[in-house]
Amino acid sequence: MVVATAQRSPREPKYYLVKRHLLELIETLPPGSLVPTERVLTVELGTSRTTVRQALSELVGEGRLVRRQGSGTYVAEPKISWPLQMTSFTQQASANGYSVSTTLLDAARQRAGDSVAARLAIKPSAGVFCVERLRLVDETPMAVETSYLSATRFPGLIGHLRRENSLYKVLADEYGVRPVAADETIETAAASPREAELLNTDTGAPMLVLGRHSFDAAGAPIEWVRSWYRGDRYTFVARLVAPAQ
């Protein structure tokens, strides 16, 4: 196919035609297959290298292709489906047959400030623990998670998290607190250099950012958490149930 002369609608950019062509090719190949190089595609498709590069980059961002430094571009493995449920990361990964590990990256006590205070229903001058953790499944970094919890309500939390990976287990065992409901938000963001390094991706790569604001049975807020996942690797699945008539 020579894209310079191929049929395309007036609103379709040239790179998109290349992308459609590559998507058709990807459909025919098993995961892990090498795709032709930029140079070969440029010649085969009769277009510019910039056009080919843009099509390839979008497919990498969408998780259809993966680039391996100094080796080439390959058809990606299927994404991992991750149900959105009122459970902990540890419970959910275990229930899906994955082994879980956690690296405590940073943990500090700080002043809540206006926005965290509003979420946790405490004063802006009150203390909160800010805990940053890298979550891994089957030894692959999956998410970077920053959690805020009231320092008054959960004294000694950081010490417990140095000994136990699951925050929800610590909350239940040490404080008798169980999150039973949460508002969960999903947004997109571009990976910062730090997130990119921790999650083995490129700065600017598309990320899915989950925000969880969880509550106990009495309706009191427990945690405010932001979790950064690689957008090219995960599909979040929520079961929606129609309200009772």
Task: Give the footprint of ligand GLP on this chain (CB under 6 A).
Answer: 88-90, 145, 147, 166-169, 210, 212, 223, 225, 227
Element containing residue 172 per DSSP (H, E): helix 167-175
Q: How far is the CB of 125 from ligand GLP (least distance, A)?
A: 24
Among residues 130 and 225, whose Cβ is nearest to ligand GLP? 225
CB nearer ligand GLP, residue 17 or residue 142? 142
Strand 80-83 with 234-237, pairing = parallel
Q: Least Å distance between CB 67 and ligand GLP?
A: 28
201 C-beta neighbours (distance < 10 Å), count = 21
Neighbours of 16 (CB within 10 A): 17
Residue with the shortest CB distance to ligand GLP: 88
Minimum CB distance to ligand GLP smaller for 37 or for 185: 185
Exposure of 215 in the CB half-sphere (CA atoms within 13 A): 10
Nearer to ligand GLP, 145 or 195 (CB): 145
Radius of gyration over every alpha carbon of the chain, rounded to an integer in angstroms: 22
Cα–Cα distance between 128 and 191 in angstroms, integer?
26
C-alpha pair distances (Å), 25 with each of 7, 30, 67, 101: 18, 10, 16, 37
Nearer to ligand GLP, 145 or 232 (CB): 145
Q: Smallest gap, in angstroms, from Cβ of residue 98 to ligand GLP?
A: 12
Min separation Cβ 176 and ligand GLP, Å: 15
Instruction: CB nearer to ligand GLP: give 183 or 197.
Output: 183
Contacts of 44 (CB under 8 A, 6+ apart): 1, 36
Q: How far is the CB of 46 from ligand GLP (least distance, A)?
A: 48
Q: How far is the CB of 102 from ligand GLP (least distance, A)?
A: 7
